[in-house]
């Protein structure tokens, strides 16, 4: 590390090393740019370190434990099952997170991306300052890609502490709590509620809207609600969280439903009501980058901001806060800077929630398609009619395909069930290639697989179902 204050010149600067930033840096380097990546905390960002990846590791561990202790297979029973949660956390950190983040460091080095540790902010339109524990340096640059991500929202009355946690805090607790209150029944809240319910924690979800997971079709969400009921998870909807009172051994959460105040005691409270963009400390106002009232950076369809040579991607721009969206935008921004004629296309942006069962969606929903003037056809096939799902003991769920009734063109799809996170890519590809129900039905799917349910749903839409 060079100590002192000096100014040097760089080519393309990427601020933030999450799934948007590091992907943008690698793609830009692959296309011949001289690239410097600036990161103040985590290589791999929130996603790899304290978000997507570690949460999925705990989800998988909790499923193993629950399946062993509550086997759905006739004739299989387990005795004297124990769990070492500290060992699970160690595996998550050392065998999953560290391997992936070390892999990213290797890829950056292999692609000749220069990495600077520190917090970057803009001094002028072509000048960035990087601060670290030894001081700071100032660099000039030709182009910049901002990929600083987001942080959990802290709501009034629920100041983060040892007992009131954000998702990062809950992912790193050392013991399995006896009880947990989850404020917010969206993606993160529902996933983590499932983790600890599987491990034996008494979980209560407080959701402000009329249903958990409001971005998914209510019929698909009902499978998750049924699963939560089996796990003794209490779900309170239209609930307004008011205050958390910390006690020696836990916290009392006060909330309101229909004007009536209620309270519940728990060991920990998770607040997962959304995330806010990390844009307030970048000096963007100083250089004229336009932002919304929420702090989101305004960009065009090439990810370019109001300042011509500065681009922004990921959670800090409008749209869904998804890691794969950030990676996609990172590639677009890098390619635009390299002179390629490309732009973003959000027609197919899959989303997945790793609940039990998994939920996934892509393309247009039924409501969105109708709003665009399509004559909508909804085709569904239940996993209870799928041989592979039956042999796995996982028949809860269905495949839903949204198509144009006149042409058969695939417009969207949602899946609830085992492997929904993987299966949704087939429907995404169908939309991208302008495929029709007939195209899917004529594609031979291997038997027995869960993917056959997609073919069967297409056949339902054609009026030629075999197994229903």
pLDDT in tens, 263-321: 999 999 999 999 999 999 999 999 999 999 999 999 999 999 999 999 999 999 999 99
pLDDT band at 72 (very low <50, low <70, confident <90, very high): confident
State the catalytic residues: 447
Could you state, in order of their start, the residue ranges of all structural domains in the chain?
7-150+276-337, 164-273, 357-461
DSSP 3-state assignment of 216? coil
Question: What single-letter DSSP state applies at residue 304?
Answer: B
Whether 7-150+276-337 and 357-461 share one fold: the answer is: no
Query: d(Cα 91, Cα 424) in Å, to the nearest integer?
Result: 29
Quote the CA–CA distance of 274 and 185 in Å, as a whole number.
Answer: 10
Dist. CA 454–CA 421, nearest whole Å: 13
Cβ atoms 199, 65 nearer than 8 A: yes
| Rounded Cα distance, 79 and 192, in Å | 26
Angle at the Cα of 213 from the Cα atoms of 212 and 214, rounded to 5 degrees? 95
Cβ atoms of 149 and 20 closer than 8 Å:
yes
Cα distances from 364 to residues 214, 425, 434, in angstroms, run 15, 14, 13
Looking at residues 393-422, what average pLDDT do you find?
97
The rounded distance, in Å, linking the Cα atoms of 201 and 234 is: 12
Q: Confidence class of residue 428 from pLDDT cuts 50, 70 and 90?
A: very high
Number of DSSP helices (H) and strands (E) in the chain, helices first: 15, 24
Q: What is the CATH number of domain 7-150+276-337?
A: 3.50.50.60
Residue 141 is given by DSSP the state -
Residue 406 CB-half CA count within 13 A: 3
Six-digit token pair at 81? 């099952």
CATH number of 357-461: 3.30.390.30
**Domain 164-273 belongs to what topology?**
FAD/NAD(P)-binding domain (3.50.50)
pLDDT at residue number 76: 87
Nearest to 203 by CA among 230, 183, 181, 172: 181
User: Using one digit for the tens of pLDDT, what is the confidence trace for 189-240?
Assistant: 999 999 999 999 999 999 999 999 999 999 999 999 999 999 999 999 999 9
3-state secondary structure of 433: coil
Name the DSSP letter for residue 102: H
Mean pLDDT of 118-130: 96
3-state secondary structure of 61: helix
Rounded mean pLDDT, 73-101: 93
């Amino acid at each position: 590390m060079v100590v002192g204050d000096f100014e040097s010149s760089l080519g393309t600067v990427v601020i933030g090393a999450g799934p948007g930033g590091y992907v943008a840096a690698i793609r830009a380097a692959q296309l011949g740019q001289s690239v410097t990546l600036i990161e103040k905390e985590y290589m791999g960002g929130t996603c790899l370190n304290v978000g997507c990846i570690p949460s999925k590791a705990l989800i998988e561990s909790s499923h193993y434990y629950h399946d062993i202790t509550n086997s759905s297979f006739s004739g299989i029973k387990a005795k004297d099952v124990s769990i070492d949660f500290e060992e699970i956390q160690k595996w998550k950190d050392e065998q999953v997170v560290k391997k992936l983040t070390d892999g990213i460091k290797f890829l950056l080095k292999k692609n000749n991306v220069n990495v600077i540790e520190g917090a970057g902010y803009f001094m002028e339109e072509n000048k960035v300052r990087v601060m670290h524990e030894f001081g700071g340096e100032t660099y000039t640059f030709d182009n910049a890609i901002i990929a600083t991500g987001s942080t959990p929202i802290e709501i009034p009355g629920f100041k983060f502490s040892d007992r009131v946690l954000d998702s990062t805090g809950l992912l790193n607790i050392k013991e399995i709590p006896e009880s947990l209150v989850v404020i917010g029944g969206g993606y993160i809240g529902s996933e983590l509620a499932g983790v600890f319910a599987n491990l034996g924690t008494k979980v209560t979800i407080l959701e402000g809207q009329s249903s958990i997971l409001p971005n998914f079709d209510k019929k698909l969400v009902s499978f998750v609600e049924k699963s939560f009921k089996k796990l003794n998870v209490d779900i309170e909807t239209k609930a307004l969280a008011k205050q958390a009172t910390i006690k020696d051994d836990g916290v009392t959460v006060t909330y309101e439903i229909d004007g009536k105040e209620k309270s519940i005691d728990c060991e920990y409270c998770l607040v997962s009501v959304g995330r806010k963009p990390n844009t307030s400390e970048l000096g963007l106002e100083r250089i004229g980058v336009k932002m919304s009232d929420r702090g989101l950076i305004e960009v065009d369809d090439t990810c370019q901001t109001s300042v011509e040579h500065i681009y922004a991607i990921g959670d800090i721009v409008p749209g869904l806060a998804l890691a794969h969206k950030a990676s996609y935008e990172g590639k677009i921004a890098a390619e635009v800077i390299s002179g390629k004629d490309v732009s973003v296309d959000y027609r197919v942006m899959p989303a997945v929630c790793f609940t039990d069962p998994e939920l996934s969606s892509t393309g247009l929903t039924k409501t969105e398609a109708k709003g665009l003037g399509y004559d909508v056809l909804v085709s569904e096939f239940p996993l209870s009619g799928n041989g592979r799902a039956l042999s796995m003991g996982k028949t809860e769920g269905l495949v839903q395909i949204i198509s144009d009734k006149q042409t058969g063109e695939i417009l969207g799809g949602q899946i609830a069930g085992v492997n929904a996170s993987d299966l949704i890519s087939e429907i995404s590809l169908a939309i991208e290639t302008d495929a029709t129900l007939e195209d899917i039905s004529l594609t031979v799917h291997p038997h027995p697989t869960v993917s056959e349910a997609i073919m069967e749903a297409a056949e339902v839409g054609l009026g030629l179902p075999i197994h229903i």
